[in-house]
Amino acid sequence: MNDLQQKHDSWMNRYRDRSNPNYEEYTQIIKSNNSVAENINKGHAFISNCLYNEAIKVLNVAIDTGGQLLFDDNLLDENELAKAYLNRGVAYENLNNYEKALSDKTKSVEMLERICHIRDFPDENLLALSYMNRGQTYISVEEYNDALKDAEKSIEIWERLKRDGERIDEHRLSCAYANKNIASIKVEPLFDEKNMSNNDESELAAQHTMRGLNHLKINLFDESISDFDKSIEIIERLRTLPEVIAARAYGGRGMAYYVIGEYEKALPDVTKSIYFFEELQKHGQMIDEDILLNMYIIRGAIRNYKFAIDDEIDNDLGDAVSDYQNSIIIMEKFKKAGKPIDEDRLAVAYMGVAQSYDQKEDFFEANNYYDKCIEIWEQLVNEGQPLLGESDFATAYMNRGSNYYVMHKNDKALSDLNRCISIRERLKSQNVQQEVHDVSTSYRDRALAHETANNIEAAIKDYISAVRVLKDEFSERPDLQEYYYDILKELLDLVGNENNDSLRDKILQEFLHSMRREPKTKEAEEIQISILKQLK
């Protein structure tokens, strides 16, 4: 036990006996301690709800009370006071008061560093968090050298804790790495671009590529594309640079275009990247196969998308399957070699193959691959692992369930669609954004399965949910208006067969008459008119 802990326990033991005349003083100290912790928790709650001024008020009280308790024979755990300073610094930063934010976060860092030198079991997670937070503030005030130091310090602590088997917050660690990337980009200068030799230009192209990849990691897509443009301009002009630089530059730009939805620009870049990587492999050179498998997955996704919008491009589907299969081969090779792989990404590749077979209407083969991706995702979820896109997890169940429905396996269809909707409703409760069309289709497909099972009440309920989801986005998503009226027509047909005039009138009022003045596409307007004529 260290000296500070002995001093604290000795002091407190003097007052724990109720017969002691100073017992009342002891109970008052405990109440003050509890008050500090309570105000820190309140401050954190206010920050979570963006009530920063309210947070500062309660944290001021916590810091004043905590400071007095520390002054009186160290009667407060300094970790708690450091946490109060850190939280108040966060609140100040959100009010753009960077001077006070830096002051508070620095106090938190200094206090925790001091504790680390005198305590047997300091809260190093909190210390790393304080460094990471202060680094973010340094970035905000463009003090990039200091930001880089803080980012590296927080990473050093968390990585060491990980190696020692301690639990850490992986999201916070990723934020620290993002801070490091941002600061590194600003701190590390590129070459002076004037009067360069070819060798210098080769190095410049490599540096633009690396900086572009760093920008890509932190979602700075315009800056990323700008760097890749500069690198590729040098590559295409000189034509003598190492193919690995070209592979990474084209691949990075293709990935950036893919993420922002510019698929027509992404496809040729990704294809060039794959070409260069495959050429390097043919000549026996080592390549970064992790990047190559990403290129295959992205090109497969683009080819699936192209077929979805133009079903005459049939060869794209076969090529998409080939791309996804190539990515799976690489990951399976990693597994056999004992190299850890991203199981989530493997599931994405399996799902890509399944969607390709879906578009070929080969539902049996599609479900074989949905089985594979669902099995992986269920295992990851059971282990508490985060998924890259949980909405894809729900969509895999939706697609497999819909395929079972077409294959006349209605019980399996209902089981999958129930699981799909339970995932979607959980994601909704967590405010996770989902594609509106997919959410609506999940309810609509389950309505069809319920109708087949002659559970008309459940079918009507799901149809209403399907239409309501689309109604909420009616003005914002004109591309879904035609789908809205298609599902509404199916719902009205089903309710009409039940001779439930009261329910029918409610549906008409909520989903048809109330929408008559809303701006619509020409196709949606035509379907609305046809429904109104049918009602007459």
DSSP secondary structure string for all residues of 209-251: HHHHHHHHHTT-HHHHHHHHHHHHHHHHHH--S-HHHHHHHHH
- Cα of first residue to Cα of last residue in the chain, in angstroms, is 87
CB-neighbour burial class of residue 440 (10 A; exposed 0-12, middle 13-18, buried 19+): buried
Chain position carrying tokens 């496809």? 267
Asked if 109 and 127 count as a contact pair (C-beta separation under 8 A), the reply is yes
Cα distance between residue 84 and residue 527, in whole Å: 60
Element (H, E) at 385: none
Cα Dmax for the chain: 92
Q: How many CB atoms lie within 10 A of CB 403?
A: 24
Asked if 400 and 367 count as a contact pair (C-beta separation under 8 A), the reply is yes
Asked if 441 and 419 count as a contact pair (C-beta separation under 8 A), the reply is no
Q: Do 1-120 and 291-388 show the same overall fold?
A: yes
Helix (H, G, I), strand (E, B) or coil at 177: helix
DSSP secondary structure string for all residues of 413-464: HHHHHHHHHHHHHHHHHTT----HHHHHHHHHHHHHHHHHTT-HHHHHHHHH
- Two tokens at 138? 């340094």
Give the predicted TM-score (pTM) of the model: 0.65
**The residue count for the chain:** 536
- Two tokens at 397? 């169940």
Cα distance between residue 45 and residue 282, in whole Å: 58
Cα distance between residue 396 and residue 334, in whole Å: 25
What residues of the chain score a pLDDT lower than 50?
Answer: 1-33, 71-75
CB-neighbour burial class of residue 423 (10 A; exposed 0-12, middle 13-18, buried 19+): buried
Least Cα distance to 514 among 461, 480, 444, 467 occurs for 467
Q: How many CB atoms lie within 10 A of CB 378?
A: 15
- Two tokens at 466? 């399907």
Residue 328: which residues within 8 A CB-CB, separation 6 or more? 346, 349, 350, 353
Asked if 83 and 107 count as a contact pair (C-beta separation under 8 A), the reply is no
Q: Please, what sign has the CA dihedral across residues 58, 62, 68, 72? A: positive
- Two tokens at 86? 């850190």
CB-neighbour burial class of residue 197 (10 A; exposed 0-12, middle 13-18, buried 19+): exposed
- What digits encode the pLDDT tens for the residues 312-344? 555 566 788 999 999 999 999 998 888 888 899
For residue 482, the model assigns a pLDDT of 93
Residue 73: which residues within 8 A CB-CB, separation 6 or more? 7, 8, 11
For 296, 396, 422, 439, the CA distances from 391, given in Å and listed in that order, are 22, 9, 11, 9
- What digits encode the pLDDT tens for the residues 193-237? 555 555 667 778 888 888 888 778 777 788 889 889 988 998 888
For the domain made up of 291-388, the CATH class stated in words is: mainly alpha
Q: Where are the alpha helices (DSSP H) in 239-387?
A: 243-259, 263-282, 289-309, 315-336, 343-359, 363-382
Chain position carrying tokens 């949980």? 390
Chain position carrying tokens 């289709």? 441
Cα dihedral 32, 36, 42, 47, rounded to 10, equals: 160
Looking at CATH, the fold of the domain delimited by 1-120 is given as 1.25.40
If phi > 0 it is left, if psi is from -120 to 50 it is alpha, else beta; for residue 220 that is beta
Asked if 126 and 77 count as a contact pair (C-beta separation under 8 A), the reply is no
- Indicate the domain borders of the chain: 1-120, 291-388, 421-536
